[in-house]
C-alpha cells in the first residue's frame, strides 16, 4: 500500500511539474521580446490614419529629374502625412522618367525639361496620352568655389566658359585664378538639356569638361576645386560654393537666383519651370495629388524648404489645361 501511495504521489508531482513547464512556455510565446514590441509599435504608427483626412487610396509611382528628386520626395512625404494614398519617388534623370512614362511604367514623370518632339511621337505610338503640368520653378544656378571672387557673369560669359572660349579665370579679372575646371551634368539630365539648348546653343563643351551623374556630386566637386564652375538647380546650394549673379547682357542688372521675385518676373535669365507629366486625364488619387501639389499651401512650403519657387505666372497655363481637360480648377 505504501508503494502504491508513493507511486501516486510521484505521478501527481510529475503532472504538476509538466503543467508548470507548459504554462511558462505559453507565457514566453505570448509575451513579445523588447525588439518585437518596437516593430509592432512602429507598424501601428505607420498604419495609424487617425490624423489623416479623407482622400483616395491607391499607389502612385513618380520617377525622373535628379534636380526634382528631393522636392518630389518632400511632396510625397507631406502628402502622405495628410492623406491615405501612397506615393513613391525615384530619380535617375528627366530622360529616365520620361522614358518610364512612355513605357507606361510610372504614373508621373518628374522633369526639369519639356518633352522632345520625338518623345511625344513615341508616346503617341505607345498610346500614352501625355499632359504637362507646371509644379514649380527653378533658378538654374551657376556655381563656383567659395573662394572664387568672380560673382557676376553675363549669359555670354557663362556660355564662353562652358564652350572653352574663356579658359582661365584671369580673363575675367581673377589674376590669382588658374585654368577653369568645367563641370556639367550628364546628357540624360533635364538640367543638361535645358542648359545645352538655352545657354550653349548646342555648341561643343570645353575640352576637359567633366560630366557628373548627379547635382549633389557636381556641387561637391566644385566645393573641392578652387577653379571649378558648374550649373545645377538652386535647391543644391550649400555653404561651400558661391552662386553667381547673372545678367542677360552688360546692359542689364546682375541678378541672383536666390530671390523668388527674380524668378517670377523673368529678370533672372536662367530660370525654368518644373514639370509633372501624366498619362491621360488625371483622376482619382492622381488628380487629388496633383491638385494638392499645384494648389496647396503645404506644397508651397515644401517648394520653399527645398530651395525652389512657386509656379508664378505658369498658374494661368495650368488653369487653361484644367479647363481643356474638363477638370475643375
User: What pLDDT does 6 receive?
Assistant: 42
291 within 8 A of 83, measured Cβ to Cβ = no
The span from the first CA to the last CA of the chain, in angstroms, equals: 97
* Fold agreement (59-137+273-324, 139-264): yes
Stretch 60-67: mean pLDDT: 95
Distances (CA, A) of 319 to 30, 189, 197, 294: 58, 28, 28, 10
For the chain, which residues make up each domain, given as ranges?
A: 59-137+273-324, 139-264
- Give the CATH number of domain 59-137+273-324: 3.40.190.10
Round to whole Å and give the CA distance between 88 and 190.
20
Backbone angles phi, psi at 255, to 5 degrees: -125, 155
CATH of region 139-264, choose from 3.40.710.10, 1.10.3720.10, 3.40.50.720, 3.40.190.10 = 3.40.190.10
Round to whole Å and give the CA distance between 154 and 141.
13
* Radius of gyration of the chain, Cα coordinates, nearest whole angstrom: 29
What are the pLDDT digits (tens) for 212-258?
989 999 999 999 999 999 999 998 999 999 999 999 999 999 999 99
Contacts of 8 (CB under 8 A, 6+ apart): none
What are the pLDDT digits (tens) for 111-156?
999 999 999 999 999 999 999 999 999 999 999 999 999 999 999 9
User: What pLDDT does 9 receive?
Assistant: 43
Strand, coil or helix: 52: coil
Confidence of residue 47 (pLDDT cuts 50, 70, 90): very low
User: What pLDDT does 177 receive?
Assistant: 87
In the predicted model, is pLDDT for residue 31 greater than 60? no
Amino acid at each position: 500500500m505504501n508503494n502504491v501511495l508513493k507511486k501516486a504521489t510521484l505521478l501527481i508531482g510529475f503532472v504538476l511539474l509538466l503543467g508548470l513547464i507548459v504554462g511558462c512556455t505559453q507565457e514566453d510565446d505570448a509575451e513579445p521580446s523588447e525588439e518585437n514590441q518596437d516593430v509592432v509599435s512602429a507598424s501601428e504608427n505607420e498604419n495609424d490614419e487617425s490624423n489623416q483626412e479623407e482622400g483616395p487610396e491607391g499607389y502612385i509611382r513618380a520617377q525622373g529629374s535628379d534636380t526634382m528628386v528631393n522636392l518630389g520626395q518632400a511632396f510625397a512625404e507631406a502628402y502622405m502625412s495628410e492623406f491615405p494614398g501612397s506615393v513613391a519617388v525615384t530619380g535617375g534623370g528627366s530622360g529616365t522618367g520620361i522614358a518610364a512614362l512612355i513605357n507606361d511604367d510610372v504614373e508621373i514623370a518628374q522633369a526639369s525639361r519639356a518633352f522632345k518632339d520625338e518623345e511625344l511621337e513615341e508616346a503617341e505610338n505607345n498610346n500614352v496620352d501625355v499632359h504637362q503640368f507646371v509644379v514649380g520653378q527653378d533658378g538654374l544656378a551657376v556655381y563656383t568655389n567659395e573662394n572664387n571672387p568672380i560673382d557676376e557673369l553675363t549669359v555670354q560669359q557663362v556660355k564662353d566658359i562652358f564652350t572653352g572660349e574663356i579658359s582661365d579665370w584671369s580673363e575675367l579679372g581673377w589674376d590669382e585664378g588658374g585654368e577653369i575646371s568645367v563641370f556639367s551634368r550628364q546628357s540624360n539630365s533635364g538640367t543638361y538639356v535645358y542648359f545645352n539648348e538655352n545657354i550653349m546653343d548646342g555648341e561643343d563643351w570645353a575640352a576637359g569638361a567633366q560630366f557628373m551623374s548627379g547635382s549633389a556630386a557636381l556641387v561637391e566637386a566644385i566645393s573641392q576645386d578652387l577653379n571649378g564652375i558648374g550649373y545645377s538647380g538652386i535647391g543644391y546650394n550649400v555653404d561651400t560654393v558661391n552662386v553667381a549673379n547673372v545678367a542677360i547682357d552688360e546692359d542689364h542688372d546682375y541678378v541672383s537666383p536666390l530671390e523668388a521675385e527674380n524668378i517670377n518676373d523673368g529678370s533672372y535669365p536662367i530660370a525654368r519651370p518644373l514639370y509633372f507629366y501624366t498619362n491621360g486625364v488625371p483622376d482619382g488619387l492622381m488628380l487629388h495629388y496633383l491638385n494638392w501639389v499645384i494648389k496647396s499651401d503645404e506644397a508651397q512650403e515644401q517648394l520653399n524648404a527645398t530651395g525652389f519657387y512657386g509656379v508664378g505666372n505658369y498658374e494661368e497655363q495650368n488653369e487653361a489645361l484644367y479647363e481643356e481637360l474638363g477638370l475643375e480648377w
